[in-house]
Amino acid sequence: MHEAIRERRSIRKFTDAPLTERLLDEIVEMGAWAPSGLNNQPWKFITIQDKNLLNQLAQNTKYKHIIEGAPACIVAFFDTACSYHREKDLQAIGACIQNMLLAIHEKGLGGVWLGEILNKRAAVEELLQVPPTMELMAVVALGYPDESKGQGSRKPLSEIILAKK
């Protein structure tokens, strides 16, 4: 667990190797084991492997090259019909997406959380024809990595721990 958390890096280049539907299901399932307030599980997903649809989705972000080069994407939504407290629901969905990124890493795949696409939220929701209670949260592009990353960097603890009382 410690290793997975430390070694996971955002991967933005993928080989052409396709993913199995089972693998995608397993990753979504790992996401769904995230905690949520009252266990309300306010998330829904669309998995996409269809190249034509991936290319259309890509047109909605300046990171289009990442989606165009990915064999698959998992699109995460907030299902507002399941909401009980917006702020807590959004936090739970963040935990869910991180779970998926860790599962992706553990399976020898790579992935990246794409948030910039939220600027085109309405267009993406229309493209994917989701019910009106769905709010786009993120796109996770994933596949077998075609790049290797270094250690990454984070602020030192001395900058992020406000106080030890």
Ligand X SMILES: Cc1cc2nc3c(=O)[nH]c(=O)nc-3n(C[C@H](O)[C@H](O)[C@H](O)COP(=O)(O)O)c2cc1C
Least distance in Å: CB of 113 to ligand X? 4
7 is a site residue for ligand X (CB under 6 A):
no
Measured distance CA(135)–CA(121) in Å, rounded: 8
State the first-to-last Cα distance of the chain, in angstroms, to the nearest integer: 28
Stretch that binds ligand X, among 26-34, 69-77, 111-119, 120-128 (CB under 6 A): 111-119
Report residue 10: phi and psi, to 5°.
-70, 125
The maximal CA–CA distance of the chain, rounded, in angstroms, is 55
Q: Which two tokens stand for residue 122?
A: 């309405």
- Pick between residue 35 and residue 131 the one whose CB is nearest to ligand X: 35
69 is a site residue for ligand X (CB under 6 A):
no
In the range 20-49, which residues lie near ligand X by CB under 6 A?
A: none
- Pick between residue 39 and residue 151 the one whose CB is nearest to ligand X: 151
Measured distance CA(141)–CA(119) in Å, rounded: 17
144 is a site residue for ligand X (CB under 6 A):
no
Residues forming the site for ligand X (CB under 6 A): 9-10, 12, 63, 112-116, 152
